[in-house]
Amino acid sequence: MKKQESRFGWLITVCALSFCLSIVMSLTSESLIPKINVIFGIIIILLFIFIAIIFDMIGVAITAQDETPFHSMASKKVKGSHHSVKLLKNSDKLASICNDVVGDVCGVVSGSAGVLVATTLSVKFNINTSFMVLIITALIASLTITGKAFGKSIAIKNSEKITFRVGKFLNFFKK
């Protein structure tokens, strides 16, 4: 019974985190994109795609990595190794956060930002809005999927390096 309550609590946490992150990212993109030119709108979309790819790589690397080398580093007091062990002990939850929460939210937000850019472009160049939205959202989806596919192989091959870098990054904020 306790384990089921723990899973339910985790699902509520993921839901709340997804909701809050979606609001923050959507508000950011929807408040910035209409006020800036199309080039900066595209840069914002590419930034969301890049964030999705990076977090997907982190999630894959952490789930692919074994704890053993980090226990050895932790015994030698290597900075970041203790955090790396913590990451690996919680790899299932971190994969959900990195791949699903951050990755999927960035995907949705980049798509909605793409609609704003597509609408601006269609008005500016007198192109059918539906056609422009279709092309822009298809480009966003293909870039995101291709980037994640490429990133997954890199993450698996470099899982120890990536996990350690994330551990070192977290160690920086320890104090």
Please provide the DSSP assignment of the chain as one string.
Answer: -HHHHHHHHHHHHHHHHHHHHHHHHHHHHHHHGGGS-HHHHHHHHHHHHHHHHHHHHHHHHHHH--SHHHHHHHHTT-TTHHHHHHHHHTHHHHHIIIIIIIHHHHHHHHHHHHHHHHHHHHHHTT--HHHHHHHHHHHHHHHHHHHHHHHHHHHHHTHHHHHHHHHHHHHHT--
Provide the whole-model pTM. Answer: 0.85
Q: How large is the average pLDDT for residues 120-126? A: 92
Q: Do residues 45 and 113 touch, judged by C-beta distance below 8 A?
A: yes
Q: Which residues of 44-54 are buried (b: 16+ CB within 10 A; e: fewer)?
A: bbeebbebbbb
* 146 vs 27, more confident: 146
Q: Is the pLDDT of residue 122 over 60?
A: yes
Q: Is the pLDDT of residue 156 over 90?
A: yes
Q: Do residues 127 and 121 touch, judged by C-beta distance below 8 A?
A: yes
Q: Is the pLDDT of residue 4 over 70?
A: no
CA 13 to chain centroid, in Å, comes to 17
Q: What is the pLDDT of residues 33-73, one digit of tens each?
A: 767 788 888 998 999 999 999 999 999 999 999 999 999 99
Residue ranges covered by each domain of the chain: 2-172
Q: What is the pLDDT of residues 60-118, one digit of tens each?
A: 999 999 999 999 999 999 999 999 999 999 999 999 999 988 988 898 889 888 998 99
pLDDT recorded at residue 162: 97
